[in-house]
């Protein structure tokens, strides 16, 4: 090719390159001379920077830089780097004609002549503002998320790799589990599990469930760094890449120990409330039944006693009457036991012969305990009497015996024994003489945790519906009210021994008790005119008959209103005996009306309830139903003694 042909070709090539550069609008492509002045300007440069060619050709390219970059002489350094190293590449803020900044990716290449002489620079700039904004937004989002996760202290939030090793750790995890990040990152998360869970491979099962089901959620015990346990709610979610492969797990743990304990306490309180309501219902039902039952027993018992006195002895009849009297007396005792349990009536302290009381319970114990359990008694030949309530003591012994029976489902033996003890120094007992009454069984026994709570109200190990949880607490209460103490000794597999310490009766109480023995029908010395008031005709007839048999004259009334009418017509009445629970006017209300017109007239109140009715006058003498003739005579005699000075 000749020289003329080469010369003709060069303009064509240059035109093509110029057309190519001018067609590019996504990049600013332009030339600089050796000193950095603009010598060419393509449409892309015009679009990015906002300058027309006539405005920028011949101007220095440093005007595209920020004031901060010009202060550090970055434009000159860029050209120097390009000239010395053959290329300059950088990202940073640049300035448009209108002063707006944009994020630019810049490449500067040196342009040299065929001889290698530097003649200028080629500069390519790309506007990456949108990408920069997206990256900055992502960075801020990631930073906010990191701060959010790190700022959470109520939850342990951390990452696991696919094998279960910890690779992140937030402040909540450090607070809840006790490990600093440098102590736990890289360690396997199974160290948070209990030994029992690790034996059954629970950590691996948790990751497998999260992988297969997409989520694992559970509550259970976890272990802190110091070895203490806490109740945790745990959620594990898998993390997958775009291809769906597991690249790790997120794990969120919350310490809910307080919530669990609060829930447990709430459930226990609800159960205690249920038991309390149930016992209140039982008490109300028992009280209502006792009133009617006591009236029936009183009519039966009083009538039988009078018949027994008035009928000559007949070997074919008298034993039957005695048997009926004993049956009615047992019914009265049963009612007292029910009331003692349901109403918690005040103790009626007496001098109690423990061996006699236990022997009297034997038949009842045998029927209650069952044939597969042997009941033994061991008492010394001489045992002092104790000061307590005999009915409550019987109930306590029955409770202890039933507990022993329930601890021996396959049978065994119960031994009731007693011996005198003298206390000189004791944390719960006053110095003095006591009887230690022991009920021992050969049953399953109790562990330390159960033994520690055995006397708590409503605590029971018998399951729902199989016990009230009040048995041992009632025994404990009886011992305390009597001035004694209850102790329990037990070991699993070695049975249980309940020791009921009761104070020995004092000499003055024993003398008073002895003075009560004998004929309760002592003659008063004069015949009284007595008004008997009761809404139950059976009881009223029986009371009148017993008073008549005692030698008194009796007038009867079936209500308080009728009684007041009788009193107005017979102002010479010496004594009134009135039932408490009557319709329209109670016995206490009747007594108050009597007191207004006859302030010195004594009134005795009879009642089948263990507790006093609302509004009852506690100052009035009260005779509990069912009462026998001897009980009635004793109250009448006391009334006569109070009347003696005025006679």
Q: Given the structure tokens 């010394």, which residue do they identify?
A: 380
Q: How many angstroms separate the CA atoms of 247 and 237, rounded?
A: 11
Q: How confident is the model at residue 515 (pLDDT cuts 50, 70, 90)?
A: very low
With cut-offs at 50, 70 and 90, classify the pLDDT of residue 71.
very high
The model's pLDDT over 380-401, given as tens digits with 9 standing for 90+, comes to 988 999 988 887 888 788 878 8
Q: What pLDDT shows up at residue 532?
A: 93
For CA atoms 317, 322, 325, 327, the dihedral sign is negative
Binned at pLDDT 50, 70 and 90, residue 427 comes out as confident
Question: Two tokens at 8?
Answer: 């003709």
Using the 8-state DSSP alphabet, how is residue 420 labeled? E
pLDDT of residue 517: 43
Nearest to 499 by CA among 570, 424, 566, 423: 423
Instruction: Please give the mean pLDDT across all residues of the chain.
Output: 80
Is it the case that residue 636 has pLDDT exceeding 90? no
pLDDT, tens digit, for every residue of 174-186?
989 999 989 999 9
Contact 368, 331 (CB under 8 A): no
pLDDT at 432 over 70: yes
Angle at 250 between CA 246 and CA 256, to 5 degrees: 145
Query: Packing angle between helix 537-549 and helix 629-643, nearest 10 degrees?
Result: 70
Peptide bond before 73: cis, by omega within 30 degrees of 0?
no
The pLDDT of 543-558, averaged and rounded, is 89
Q: What is the pLDDT of residue 491?
A: 82
Using DSSP's 3-state secondary structure scheme, residue 101 falls into: strand
- Structure-model confidence comparison of residues 462 and 332, the more confident one: 332
Compute the average pLDDT of residues 67-95. Answer: 93
Min mean pLDDT across 138-147, 541-550, 636-645 is at 138-147
Query: For the purposes of burial, counting CB atoms within 10 Å of the CB of 85, is it exposed (0-12), middle (13-18) or buried (19 or more)?
Result: exposed
Region 194-209 average pLDDT: 93
The answer to whether 165 touches 260, Cβ cutoff 8 Å, is: no
C-alpha 255/C-alpha 259 separation (Å) is: 9
pLDDT at 418 over 80: yes
Nearest to 532 by CA among 634, 586, 603: 603
Structure tokens at 70: 């010009």
Residue 6 has a pLDDT of: 44
Q: What is the pLDDT of residues 348-371, one digit of tens each?
A: 778 889 898 888 888 777 777 777
CB-CB contact of 291 with 473 (8 Å) = no
* Lowest mean pLDDT across 98-102, 126-130, 135-139, 287-291: 287-291
What's the CA gap between 377 and 362, in Å, rounded? 9
Contact 502, 435 (CB under 8 A): yes
Using pLDDT thresholds of 50, 70 and 90, give the confidence band for residue 21. Answer: low
For the segment 564-600, what is each residue's pLDDT rounded down to a tens digit? 999 999 888 999 999 888 888 988 899 999 999 898 8
Q: What is the pLDDT of residue 557?
A: 93
Give residue 417's pLDDT band: very low, low, confident or very high (50, 70, 90): very high
Give the model's pLDDT for residue 84: 92
pLDDT band, very low/low/confident/very high, at 342 (cuts 50, 70, 90): very low
Tell me which range, 294-298, 369-373, 613-617, is most confidently predicted by mean pLDDT: 369-373
Range of weakest confidence among 7-11, 186-190, 194-198: 7-11
| pLDDT of res. 410 | 82
Q: Which residues contact 186 (CB under 8 A, 6 or more apart)?
A: 165, 166, 167
- pLDDT value, residue 338: 56
Q: What is the DSSP string of 524-575?
A: -SS--EEEEE-S-HHHHHHHHHHHHHTT-EEEEESSHHHHHHHHHH-TT--E
The average pLDDT across 4-13 equals 48
Is residue 509 exposed (0-12), middle (13-18) or buried (19+ Cβ within 10 Å)?
Answer: middle
Whether the predicted pLDDT of 423 surpasses 80 = yes
Which tokens is 131 given? 């990408």
Q: Tell me if residue 369 falls in helix, strand or coil.
A: helix
Please name each of the domains of the chain with its CATH number: 3-132 (3.30.450.20), 152-255 (3.30.450.20), 346-514 (3.30.565.10), 519-646 (3.40.50.2300)
pLDDT band at 529; cut points 50, 70, 90? very high
Q: What is the pLDDT of residues 434-493, one digit of tens each?
A: 999 998 888 887 777 666 655 554 445 554 444 444 456 667 667 777 788 888 888 888
Answer with the residue of higher pLDDT: 249 or 423: 249
Give the least confident one: 173-182, 238-247, 513-522.
Answer: 513-522
C-alpha 261: how far from chain center: 6
């Amino acid at each position: 090719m000749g020289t003329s042909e080469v010369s003709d070709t060069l303009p064509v090539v240059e035109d093509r390159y110029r057309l190519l550069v001018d067609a590019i609008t996504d990049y600013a492509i332009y030339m600089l001379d050796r000193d950095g002045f603009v010598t060419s300007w393509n449409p892309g440069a015009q679009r990015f920077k906002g300058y027309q060619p006539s405005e920028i050709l011949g101007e220095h390219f440093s005007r595209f830089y920020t004031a901060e970059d010009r202060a550090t002489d970055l434009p000159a350094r860029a050209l120097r780097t390009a000239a010395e190293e053959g290329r300059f590449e950088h990202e940073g803020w640049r300035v448009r004609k209108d002063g707006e900044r944009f994020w630019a990716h810049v490449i500067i290449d040196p342009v040299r002549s065929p001889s290698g002489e530097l003649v200028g620079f080629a500069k390519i700039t790309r506007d990456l503002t949108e990408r920069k904004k997206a990256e900055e937004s992502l960075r801020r989002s990631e930073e906010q998320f990191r701060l959010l996760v790190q700022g959470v202290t109520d939850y342990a939030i951390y990452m696991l790799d696919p094998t279960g090793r910890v690779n992140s750790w937030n402040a909540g995890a450090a607070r809840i589990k006790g490990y600093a990040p440098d102590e736990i990152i890289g360690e396997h998360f199974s160290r948070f599990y209990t030994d029992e869970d690790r034996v059954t491979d629970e950590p691996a099962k948790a990751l497998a469930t999260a992988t297969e089901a997409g989520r694992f959620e559970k509550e259970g015990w976890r272990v802190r760094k110091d070895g203490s346990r806490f109740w945790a709610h745990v959620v594990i979610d898998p993390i997958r890449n775009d291809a769906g492969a597991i690249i790790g797990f997120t794990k969120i743990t919350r310490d809910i120990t307080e919530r669990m304990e609060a829930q447990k306490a709430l459930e226990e309180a609800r159960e205690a409330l249920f038991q309390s309501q149930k016992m209140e219902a039982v008490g109300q039902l028992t009280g209502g039944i006792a009133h009617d039952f006591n009236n029936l027993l009183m009519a039966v018992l009083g009538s039988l006693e009078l018949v027994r006195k008035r009928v000559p002895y007949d070997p074919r009849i008298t034993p039957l009457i005695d048997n009926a009297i004993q049956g009615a007396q047992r019914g009265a005792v049963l009612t007292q036991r029910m009331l003692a349990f349901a109403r918690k009536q005040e103790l009626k302290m007496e001098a109690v012969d423990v061996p006699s009381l236990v022997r009297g319970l034997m038949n009842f114990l045998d029927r209650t305990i069952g044939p597969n359990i042997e009941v033994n008694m061991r008492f010394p030949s001489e045992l002092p009497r104790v000061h307590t309530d005999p009915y409550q003591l019987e109930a306590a012994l029955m409770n202890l015996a039933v507990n022993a029976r329930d601890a021996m489902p396959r049978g065994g033996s119960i031994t009731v024994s007693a011996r005198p003890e003298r206390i000189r120094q004791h944390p719960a007992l006053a110095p003095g003489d006591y009887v230690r009454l022991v009920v021992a069984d050969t049953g399953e026994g109790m562990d330390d945790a159960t033994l520690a709570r055995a006397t708590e109200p409503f605590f029971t190990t018998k399951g729902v519906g199989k016990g009230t949880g009040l048995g041992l607490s009632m025994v404990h209460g009886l011992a305390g009210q009597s001035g004694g103490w209850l102790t329990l000794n037990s070991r699993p597999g070695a049975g249980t021994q309940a020791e009921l310490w009761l104070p020995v009766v004092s000499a003055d109480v024993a003398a008073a008790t002895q003075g009560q023995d004998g004929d309760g029908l002592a003659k008063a010395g004069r015949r009284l005119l007595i008004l008997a008031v009761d809404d139950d005709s059976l009881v009223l007839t029986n009371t009148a008959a017993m008073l008549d048999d005692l030698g008194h004259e009796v007038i009867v009334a079936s209500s308080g209103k009728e009684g007041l009418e009788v009193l107005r017509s017979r102002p010479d009445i010496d004594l009134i005996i009135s039932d408490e629970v009557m319709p329209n006017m109670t016995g206490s209300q009747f007594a108050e009306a009597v007191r207004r017109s006859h302030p010195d007239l004594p009134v005795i109140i009879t009642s089948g309830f263990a507790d006093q009715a609302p509004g009852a006058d506690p100052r009035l003498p009260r005779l509990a139903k069912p009462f026998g003739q001897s009980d009635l005579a004793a109250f009448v005699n006391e009334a006569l003694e109070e009347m003696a000075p005025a006679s």
